[in-house]
Amino acid sequence: MATYEEVKEIANYPEKYLIDVRNKDELAKTGVIPASINIPMSELEAAFKMSENDFKTAFNRDKPTEETVLIFSCQAGGRAQRATDLAQSHGFKNAKAYAGSWTEWAEKENLS
């Protein structure tokens, strides 16, 4: 599991990915964790299957390798865990969920 402290430092580690799997309408209501990229849960498997070029075009980041640290967040942690399981099934060895996700982030950042 990823911690709030690890997620807070993500901007200092560009080789790590923080992927928010919420839908775009959810992001519009709440905001986003800085340095995260949005790949809605419904699009995640297709993103894993994209070519490197298509991934970079879609998300403005290099496609992660199997060794890349992937941290998934959502609203309260459930989808983040499902995304982690999906990533691991696609061979990503360093995938983990941010259990607190947006709910914990907003509380600790005094955004709620």
Q: Indicate which residues carry an active-site annotation.
A: 74
Let me know: does 19 contact 82? Beta carbons within 8 Å: no
**Chain position carrying tokens 């990533």:** 87
Under DSSP, the state recorded for 61 is S
3-state SS class at 4:
helix
Within 10 angstroms of residue 24's Cβ, the number of other Cβ atoms is 8
